[in-house]
Structure 1
Amino acid sequence: MSEVRVYGKIVDDHTRCVHYATELDIIAIRFACCDRYYPCHLCHSETADHPAQQWPREQWDRPAILCGNCWSELTISAYKATDECPECAAQFNPRCAAHSDLYFAGQ
């Protein structure tokens, strides 16, 4: 496992949290506002001392997604272009797209 720290209400070693814990909920997102990984927007809201900020479109080339299976970091662009980790082929939850606007500006 990586030395990357994930904050929030995590329930397992694959970054699943109390809010999202299906087989496919295995990513954490580095929040633009605090440069910390959280499993979801609710974990950030409940444990951070500031409001969340979206990643601006011009920064989607930065590593900001953590695969909870192999702990590889993906750029936002790479994450948004796939439903699985390019390193380990673990499947990601495609429903995360329903909350994408909470994390990424300029959809």
Structure 2
Amino acid sequence: MASGNSGVIDPGGYSHPQFKRVLWYLIGSTKGGVNRAKILELINSHPANPNQISSELKLDYKTIIHHLSVLAENGLIITDNKESYGATYFLTPLMEKNYNSFMEILVKIGKK
């Protein structure tokens, strides 16, 4: 996925600059970015299933499912069992590695 010589490509398929662009898009440039950021922060503090996330963030379960799907499709989170109702979500190694970039984005958009 990397173009030119923008750096080493991570196992997730993104080089660091590309991953930062994905974060900017998902967190800083879309209507659901604030909720996605809350989900990432919660999962960083402790892995959780959709029902737990919904309860802790006081957001609709279907909203949580939508955001989890978007985050998973973009390589930010993974689950232990996608087909299970109580599937637990975790940050991907790539997201863990780039968590500081995520926090920088939150500061820049005024959410931290």
Give the structure-2-normalised TM-score: 0.31
Compare CA radii of gyration and give the structure with the larger one.
2
More helix by share: 2
More strand by share: 1
